[in-house]
């Protein structure tokens, strides 16, 4: 009885110590974090911290996840836990300005009605009609709403950006102002032959629906006043005064997107004479380490699209290119979700390293590419002619790049006639350069039909998404733009896979050796057992009987060794698992708790 009483007392004491430890940990160490993941998945980036620091009015976040309905979806539940934990980190960092609610919208509940009211997406998970919610809604003091309808697993790397963008949008009241300056009729025009008004290109119509768009006809300081982003399309014949205005706009923190084409198809349809290249921005872009290569057009056999000839035959056009995911920067928010984007008579960007400027290639050719002279396209009679003499260089050629970082003005002394101070530099450079304008034209990505007076569009490529992504990405603050993709939460156990491969290799080698020995032993047994004399009776000498028994024992021994090798196959993996369990469950929690307690004590004594 005494031993039993002591045992019960010990259990109670251990349980009490555990509760006390948990209470002390929550009270004293609840606000402390240590991120040991390889890509710092739970450490908020500097841009996110700046966004959270700038929150003026309280923001309410409602995280909806169907916990009970997703009991069998292990990977989704793991990702949902990560989303919840990073949202809790947002709440902690916002210093009371973010209030987070975690809600399980069970079927036919008020919570489900609330999720549907926010516009979140319910996704069926089986044929019986069972549905789950996995989204986020946010509101501010003015009852503005922002939502993430459903957290896509394939967008996991951009989780922090999407969360920070939602918070940023709820915290800003300023309308983003976009200005478009173009030498092409992208915003619509009147046909001089029929006097009918032609609508704006579809990409511009999309931008007009999403942003406040101004048509800029004059590149002057007054015209660019109040703009957040300037979109230049085929800028030609620019003089120093216009380039100086653009330079100062960028130096003052304005964002810039340039579409410049060595041979715009839309210009060739309107002009009979050879067109001039849009190199008007080169003197300025060179200062930032990029320029459009004069008189060069990209040919790429790997991504060349098929076109129909007048004869009815089809041929690959080396100058009309359909770039796919292999050509896009997979870790950039602008291009990560794109599947195909079509270009035509695309230019090539020449890059040069400039101190302080980070140059990132967003879209590039395959290695089955080479530069053509633009004259070959201006006087091209048949696309098949481009095949003659085509030889891939084995290089990749950039056609779209992002520039960011610190830059200095190309006009430190200003220009003649300019009055006032010259902004000498910026540490918030945000410029994107694309070596094509045809990518914007309707014919390369969308079919437009008139249905009872209403324009119906049907996209067959992601050109429109590319332009929207470019503008949308640059429409945020510099803090938001600075947030890059993060590593994936779900990572393969590469160490375990290496151990498994090594074990399998060892097993195969041992197994092969044992199998050879087993075959040799069985052959010797067969030879002995084949000795027969009168009446078919088996007759063996005592020595042969001894050898027979030895071979039979050897056969059993070898088979036992084979089984042993099979059992040893996962020994290293099991051993690694045991060590990891000990480290994660016992050693690391104790070690971290000790370090945090020491740090807490030092902070207390330091006050």
> Of the ranges 73-82, 235-244, 519-528, which one carries the lowest mean pLDDT score?
519-528
Phi, psi (deg, nearest 5) at residue 416: -60, 135
- Residue 145's pLDDT is 93
Cα distance between residue 521 and residue 472, in whole Å: 74
On whether the CB atoms of residues 184 and 234 are closer than 8 A, the answer is yes
Mean pLDDT (the chain, rounded): 81
- Residue 100's pLDDT is 96
Structure tokens at 563: 């089984």
Name the pLDDT band for 273 (thresholds 50, 70, 90). very low
- Give the residue among 115, 145, 148, 147 at the shortest CA–CA distance from 132: 115
- Give the residue among 168, 160, 163 at the shortest CA–CA distance from 488: 160
With a cut of 80, say whether residue 138 has pLDDT above it.
yes
Phi, psi (deg, nearest 5) at residue 303: -115, 10
> Coil, helix or strand for 97?
coil
With a cut of 80, say whether residue 598 has pLDDT above it.
no
> Of the ranges 1-10, 382-391, 412-421, 422-431, which one carries the lowest mean pLDDT score?
1-10
Average pLDDT over residues 178-200: 80
Average pLDDT over residues 377-402: 90
Name the pLDDT band for 532 (thresholds 50, 70, 90). very low
> Of the ranges 108-117, 181-190, 543-552, which one carries the lowest mean pLDDT score?
543-552
On whether the CB atoms of residues 176 and 212 are closer than 8 A, the answer is yes
pLDDT digits (tens, 9 = 90+) for 279-324: 789 999 999 999 999 889 999 999 999 988 777 778 899 999 999 9
Cα distance between residue 536 and residue 538, in whole Å: 6
DSSP string, 503-522: HHHHHHHHHHHHHHHHHHHH
E strands, 209-365, in order: 212-215, 229-233, 255-259, 290-292, 296-300, 304-308, 314-324, 340-344, 349-351, 357-364
- Residue 234's pLDDT is 92
- Give the residue among 293, 234, 254, 275 at the shortest CA–CA distance from 440: 234
Torsion angle defined by CA atoms of residues 231, 237, 240 and 241, in that order, rounded to the nearest 10 degrees = -70
Phi, psi (deg, nearest 5) at residue 45: -70, 165
On whether the CB atoms of residues 187 and 216 are closer than 8 A, the answer is no
From residue 43, alpha-carbon distances to 40, 79, 160, 332, 487 in Å are: 5, 16, 10, 19, 12
* Pairing verdict, β 314-324 and 425-434: unpaired
Cα distance between residue 94 and residue 341, in whole Å: 39
Average pLDDT over residues 37-55: 78
Average pLDDT over residues 382-408: 93
> Of the ranges 18-27, 88-97, 417-426, 519-528, which one carries the lowest mean pLDDT score?
18-27
- Give the residue among 518, 481, 466, 443 at the shortest CA–CA distance from 164: 481
Cα distance between residue 551 and residue 524, in whole Å: 8
- Give the residue among 426, 372, 355, 435 at the shortest CA–CA distance from 398: 435
With a cut of 60, say whether residue 36 has pLDDT above it.
no
∠ CA 20-21-24, nearest 5°, is 85
- Give the residue among 402, 408, 411 at the shortest CA–CA distance from 242: 411
> Of the ranges 52-56, 81-85, 117-121, 122-126, which one carries the lowest mean pLDDT score?
122-126
User: What percent of the chain is modeled with pLDDT above 70?
Assistant: 70
On whether the CB atoms of residues 66 and 118 are closer than 8 A, the answer is no
With a cut of 60, say whether residue 461 has pLDDT above it.
yes
- Residue 533's pLDDT is 47
User: What percent of the chain is modeled with pLDDT above 90?
Assistant: 45
With a cut of 80, say whether residue 528 has pLDDT above it.
no
> Coil, helix or strand for 369?
strand
Question: To which residue do tokens 């063996």 refer?
Answer: 540
- Residue 568's pLDDT is 63
- The full length of the chain comes to 607
pLDDT digits (tens, 9 = 90+) for 426-449: 999 999 999 999 999 999 999 887
> Coil, helix or strand for 435?
coil
- Residue 237's pLDDT is 84
- Residue 301's pLDDT is 94
Cα distance between residue 168 and residue 98, in whole Å: 12
Highest mean pLDDT: which of 204-208, 211-215, 256-260?
Answer: 256-260
On whether the CB atoms of residues 61 and 148 are closer than 8 A, the answer is no
Question: To which residue do tokens 């990749």 refer?
Answer: 396
User: What are the residues facing 563 on neighbouring strands?
Assistant: none
Cα distance between residue 564 and residue 326, in whole Å: 46
> Coil, helix or strand for 529?
helix
On whether the CB atoms of residues 230 and 256 are closer than 8 A, the answer is yes
- Residue 86's pLDDT is 93
Average pLDDT over residues 15-42: 56
On whether the CB atoms of residues 203 and 463 are closer than 8 A, the answer is yes
- Give the residue among 368, 420, 366, 427 at the shortest CA–CA distance from 392: 368
Question: To which residue do tokens 């989204």 refer?
Answer: 135
Cα distance between residue 134 and residue 111, in whole Å: 13
Cα distance between residue 277 and residue 260, in whole Å: 8
- Give the residue among 527, 552, 553, 556 at the shortest CA–CA distance from 540: 527
Higher pLDDT, 510 or 82: 82
- Give the residue among 294, 296, 48 at the shortest CA–CA distance from 167: 48
């Amino acid at each position: 009885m005494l031993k039993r009483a002591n045992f019960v007392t010990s259990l109670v004491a251990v349980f009490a110590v555990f509760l006390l430890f948990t209470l002390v940990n929550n009270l004293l160490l609840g606000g402390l974090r240590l991120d040991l993941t390889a890509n710092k998945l739970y450490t908020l980036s500097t841009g996110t911290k700046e966004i959270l620091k700038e929150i003026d009015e309280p923001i309410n976040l409602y995280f909806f996840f169907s916990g009970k309905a997703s009991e069998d979806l292990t990977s989704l539940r793991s990702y949902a836990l990560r989303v919840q934990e990073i949202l809790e980190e947002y709440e902690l960092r916002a210093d009371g300005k973010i209030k987070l609610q975690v809600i399980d919208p069970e079927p036919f509940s008020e919570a489900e009605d609330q999720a549907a009211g926010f516009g979140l997406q319910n996704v069926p998970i089986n044929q019986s009609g069972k549905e789950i919610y996995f989204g986020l809604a946010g509101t501010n003091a003015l009852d503005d709403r922002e939502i993430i309808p459903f957290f896509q697993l394939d967008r996991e790397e951009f989780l922090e950006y999407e969360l920070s963008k939602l918070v940023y949008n709820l915290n800003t009241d300023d309308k983003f102002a976009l200005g478009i300056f173009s030498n092409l009729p992208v915003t619509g025009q009147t046909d001089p032959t029929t006097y009918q008004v032609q609508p704006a290109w579809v990409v511009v119509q999309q931008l007009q629906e999403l942003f406040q768009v101004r048509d800029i006809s004059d590149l002057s300081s007054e015209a660019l006043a109040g703009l957040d982003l300037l979109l230049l399309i085929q800028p030609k014949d620019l003089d120093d005064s216009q380039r100086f205005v653009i330079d100062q706009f960028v130096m003052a923190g304005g964002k810039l997107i340039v579409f410049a084409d060595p041979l715009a198809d839309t210009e060739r349809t309107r002009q009979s004479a050879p067109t001039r290249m849009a190199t008007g921005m080169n003197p300025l872009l060179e200062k930032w380490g990029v320029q459009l290569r004069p008189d060069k057009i990209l040919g790429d056999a790997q991504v060349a699209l098929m076109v129909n000839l007048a004869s009815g035959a089809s041929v690959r056009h080396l100058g009309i290119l359909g770039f796919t995911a292999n050509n896009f920067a997979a870790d950039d928010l602008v291009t990560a979700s794109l599947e195909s984007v079509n270009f035509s008579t695309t230019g090539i960007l020449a890059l040069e390293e400039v101190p302080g400027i980070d140059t990132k290639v967003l879209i590039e050719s395959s290695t089955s590419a080479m530069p053509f002279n633009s004259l070959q396209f201006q006087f091209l009679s048949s696309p098949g002619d481009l095949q003659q003499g085509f030889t891939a260089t084995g290089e990749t050629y950039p056609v779209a790049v992002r520039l960011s970082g610190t830059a200095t003005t190309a006009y430190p002394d200003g220009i003649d006639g300019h009055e006032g101070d010259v902004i000498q530099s910026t540490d918030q450079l945000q410029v994107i350069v694309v070596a094509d304008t045809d990518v914007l034209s309707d014919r390369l990505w969308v079919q437009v039909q008139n249905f009872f007076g209403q324009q119906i569009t049907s996209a067959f490529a992601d050109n429109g998404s590319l332009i929207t992504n470019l503008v949308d990405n640059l429409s945020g603050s510099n803090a938001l733009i600075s947030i890059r993709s993060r590593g994936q939460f779900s990572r393969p156990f590469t160490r375990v896979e290496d151990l498994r491969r090594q074990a399998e290799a060892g097993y195969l080698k041992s197994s092969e050796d044992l199998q050879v020995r087993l075959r040799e032993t069985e052959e010797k047994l067969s030879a002995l057992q084949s000795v027969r004399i009168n009446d078919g009776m088996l007759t063996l000498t005592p020595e042969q009987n001894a050898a027979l028994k030895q071979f039979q024992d050897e056969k059993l021994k070898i088979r036992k060794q084979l089984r042993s090798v099979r059992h040893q196959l996962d020994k290293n993996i099991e051993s690694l698992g045991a060590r990891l369990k000990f480290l994660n469950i016992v050693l690391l929690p104790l070690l971290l708790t000790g370090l945090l307690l020491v740090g807490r004590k030092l902070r207390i004594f330091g006050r």
